[in-house]
Every structure is written in structure tokens, then in C-alpha cells.
Amino acid sequence: MSVMLFKLRGVEEDEADDLRQALEQDGIDFYETPADRWGVSMPAIWLKDESQLQQAREVVERCQEQRSVRLRQEYESLRKAGMHETFFRRLKNRPLVVLLYMIILGIVLYFFTMPFIYFAR
């Protein structure tokens, strides 16, 4: 019987590709269900053979650990080079987007705090 191994909702495509490749290299038989147009169905990787579940979970953990280490190293190298994205760098590169987010944040804070301010009077 089939068993779901890994949900793909919100997963970056390169991570999913790495996982597919690792499963194929280890000889694990799987199939994938895509997301539908309206986001109702669950995109996931499923195992065809439930007896391979433990081996497949080890592959997933190994793959995620390798990805985590690689992304940390990439971030550290960017940080050391002074190229990582900070608030001020984002403000410089995309000022309108940052301004829009700040306006939205201000509106949300206004609506959350106004009842308390009027109640305190």
C-alpha cells in the first residue's frame, strides 16, 4: 500500500529535485502527486512499497541535513563578503516594496491598538 513520504507544499523546486534524485540513487520506488490549479490536492512524494519507508525517511533526513549545511555555508560566505541581504540593503534595492510593507504594518498596528486606546479613555 502507498504511504506519503514527503509533502511538497511550500518546498522549493531545487530541494524537491535533490530529494527525487537521492531517492532514485538509493533505488527507492516512489511517485509524485502534483498540486492542482486551486491548491486543493496535496503535492507530495509517495512510496509505492511501504517496506521501504524507514530507508526513505533516512534518505530524506540525510538530504535535508546536507541542504541545511550547504545553505548555511552559502549564507556565511555571503555574510563574510558583505553581500547578504539586510534591511537597509533591501530598502536601497527595493524602496517601494519596503515602503508598502511599512504602510501595511502601520495600518495593522493602528487597528490593533485603537480599541485599547479608546477603551483607556
CB atoms within 10 A of CB 59: 20
For residue 42, what is the domain's CATH number?
Answer: 3.30.70.1530
List the domain range (segments joined by +) for residue 94. 85-121
Pair (43, 8) in one structural domain: yes
Residues 24-69: tens digit of each pLDDT: 999 999 999 998 888 788 999 999 999 999 999 999 999 999 999 9
pLDDT at 117: 86
| Number of domains composing the chain | 2
> SS3 sequence, 40-75?
CCCCEEEECCHHHHHHHHHHHHHHHHHHHHHHHHHH
In whole numbers, what is the pLDDT of the chain averaged over residues?
94
43, 35 contact by CB (below 8 A)? yes
